[in-house]
Amino acid sequence: MSEQVDYDIHRVLKALPHRYPMLLVDRVRSIELGERIHAVKGVTMNEEFFQGHFPGAPIMPGVMQIEAMAQAAAILGIETLELAGTGKLVFFMGIEGAKFRKPVTPGCLLDLEVEFTQKRSRVYKFAGKASVEGTVHSEAEFTAMIADPPAN
C-alpha cells in the first residue's frame, strides 16, 4: 500500500547526500517502502545546465533526467533499508533501455516514478519514468549498489 507522504526538501536532504547543483529531487509525493516512489523535480531556468544546453533553447539533458530518477530510487532504497543518516551511498552500476521521448524545459514539474524490479543483498534494479502532466518524457532501467563511501 502506497503511503501518502509529503517529504519536503528537508527530509529529502536527510535521505540523500546530494546538494546544489546536483540535487535533482525537490519533494516526495508518495512512497511504498520496498516497492515504488513518486518524487518531483521542479525544473527552473536557474538550473546551471541550461546555460549551455542549449543557449536560446533550454532543454534538460537526458542524463540529468536519468540522474533525477536515480536520486528518487536512492531515496526509495535508503528509506526502505532504514539507512538515512548512516553515510551509505547509492552508486549507479548500469543503465539500460534509456529512451528520451519529449524535451523537458524550464517551468516543467517533472514527476519521477521509480519502482524496484529486482533486489539482491546490496544490488538493486529499478525501472523509472519521468513525466510532465501525465506524458512520459523519458524512461530507463538502471542498476545500483548500496555501499560505504570511498576512502579518501
Catalytic residues: 53
Copy the grid coordinates of residue 24: 535533482
Helix (H), strand (E) at residue 3: strand 3-7
CA distance 66 to 92: 11
Instruction: Using alpha carbons, select from 82, 98, 111 the residue that is nearest to residue 138.
Output: 98
- Which DSSP letter does residue 51 get? G
Q: ω into residue 54 within 30 of 0, thus cis?
A: yes
Burial class (CB in 10 A: 0-12, 13-18, 19+), 143: middle
